[in-house]
């Protein structure tokens, strides 16, 4: 791999935009260039109305091995004070926040190991589809760190507090089959079918009423800090918006005309 090859590949297929981490020699470790490119790409996908589903995946045999540890070690060779929190706030947190709030479906197509912040990246996506040979490692503890990039938020919500504690304390590798069993991923497919299965799911999601999906994501995110009365009221407010979309009318009309709906995302 030469420096001229982009560290992030951006691929468009209809209304699906795939963001492919492209540092396969390090299992797609996140250095500052890649983090900046990923941040820009997610922001661009958010703004671009032609994009109705985002896929995050990795080139080569890894999904993402987390923070580039060579870059971390390089910081120790200077006398400058090291503040990992600053690095997280500047580089990781905006990406994770945007993935959680972008009003379009986001799929992690996990082609190989997802470790440390790479695992957090997969967890920040809405849906995880995993290759049989992929694995998940809350690797932070192995390098004397606590989980970051949203793992302490997403992990207990997906698999429960007790399992989250165990995985974060031990940093043990979770194979795809166990990940499916404990609810860490939605689907596991044979390695050679990951691309096709991801495309099938992404195409389906991209053809759905995008505004309704965005509002659904907003509502489910809000439920975590809500009570039932507040949530009911919030649902009613969002439904006012959904009820004014073209896709709502189209869905009702198509049902009554006994034909498949043609959703445009508006
Ligand atoms: O600064 C901040 O903001 C702090 C934030 C921290 C967040 C974090 O993500 S902390 C956690 C960082 N990640 C890790 O600790 C994982 C480190 N990697 C591994 O434990 C293993 O590589 C894996 C379990 C992921 C995969 O193992 P394996 O045996 O399949 O592959 P390998 O041989 O270990 O790795 C292949 C190559 O990738 C190897 O390079 P080489 O020897 O072929 O030249 C290895 O050094 C490189 N690599 C893997 N992970 C990283 C990496 N290089 C830099 N950074 C990595 N994270």
**139 within ligand 1 shell (Cβ under 6 A):** yes
- The answer to pTM > 0.85 is yes
pLDDT at 76: 86
d(CA 253, CA 229): 32
Does any ligand 1 atom lie closer than 6 A to the CB of residue 136? no
**27 C-alpha to ligand 1 centroid (Å):** 7
69 lines ligand 1 (CB under 6 A): yes
**Quick one: what percent of the chain has pLDDT higher than 90?**
95
Q: What is the mean pLDDT of the chain?
A: 96
Residue/partner pairs of 175-183 with CB below 8 Å, 24 or more apart:
175/135, 176/110, 176/130, 176/131, 176/132, 176/133, 176/134, 176/135, 177/132, 179/128, 179/130, 179/134, 179/135, 179/136, 180/130, 183/158, 183/159
Give 226-237 pLDDT, tens digit per residue.
999 999 999 999
- Ligand 1: atom nearest CA of 70 is 54
114 alpha carbon – ligand 1 mean position (Å): 10
Atom 46 of ligand 1: nearest residue by CA position: 26
Give the pLDDT confidence of 12-63 residue by residue, as tens digits: 999 999 999 999 999 999 999 999 999 999 999 999 999 999 999 999 999 9
pLDDT band for position 5 (cuts 50, 70, 90): confident
pLDDT tens digits, 97-149: 999 999 999 999 999 999 999 999 999 999 999 999 999 999 999 999 999 99
Question: How far does the centroid of ligand 1 lie from the alpha carbon of residue 73, in Å?
Answer: 12
Q: Which of 22, 24, 65 to mutate to test the pocket of ligand 1 (most atoms within 8 A of CB)?
A: 65
Sorted by where each starts, the structural domains of the chain and their CATH numbers stand as 8-206 (3.90.226.10), 210-256 (1.10.12.10)
pLDDT of 88 higher than 60: yes
Quickly tell me which residue has 């929190």 as its tokens.
85
**Which phi and psi (to 5°) does residue 129 adopt?**
-115, 130
pLDDT at 3 over 60: no
Question: What is the reported pLDDT for 2?
Answer: 44
| Atom of ligand 1 at shortest range from CA of 26 | 38
Asked whether 120 lines ligand 1 (CB < 6 A), one says: no
Per-residue pLDDT band for 75 (boundaries 50, 70, 90) equals confident
Distance (angstroms) between ligand 1 centre and the Cα of 29 equals 7
């Amino acid at each position: 791999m030469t420096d001229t090859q982009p560290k992030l590949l951006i691929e468009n297929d209809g209304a699906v935009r795939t963001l492919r981490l492209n540092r396969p020699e390090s299992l797609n470790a996140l250095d500052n260039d890649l983090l900046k490119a990923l941040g820009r790409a997610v922001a661009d996908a958010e703004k671009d109305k032609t994009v109705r589903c985002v896929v995050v995946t990795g080139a080569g045999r890894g999904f993402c091995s987390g923070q580039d540890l060579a870059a971390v070690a390089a910081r120790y060779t200077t006398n400058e004070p090291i503040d990992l929190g600053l690095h997280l706030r500047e580089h990781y947190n905006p990406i994770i926040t945007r993935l959680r709030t972008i009003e379009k479906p986001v799929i992690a197509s996990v082609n190989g190991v997802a470790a440390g912040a790479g695992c957090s990246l997969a967890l920040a996506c809405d849906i995880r589809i995993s290759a049989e040979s992929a694995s998940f490692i809350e690797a932070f503890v192995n390098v004397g760190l606590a989980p970051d990039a949203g793992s302490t938020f997403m992990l207990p919500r997906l698999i429960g507090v007790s399992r989250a504690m165990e995985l974060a304390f031990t940093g043990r590798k979770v194979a795809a089959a166990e990940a499916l069993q404990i609810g860490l991923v939605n689907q596991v497919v044979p390695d050679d079918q990951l691309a096709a299965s991801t495309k099938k799911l992404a195409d389906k999601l991209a053809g759905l009423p995008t505004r309704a999906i965005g509002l659904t994501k907003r509502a489910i995110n809000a439920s975590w800090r809500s009570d039932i009365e507040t949530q009911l009221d919030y649902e009613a407010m969002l439904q006012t918006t959904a009820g004014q979309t073209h896709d709502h009318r189209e869905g009702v009309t198509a049902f009554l005309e006994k034909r498949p709906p043609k959703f445009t995302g508006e």
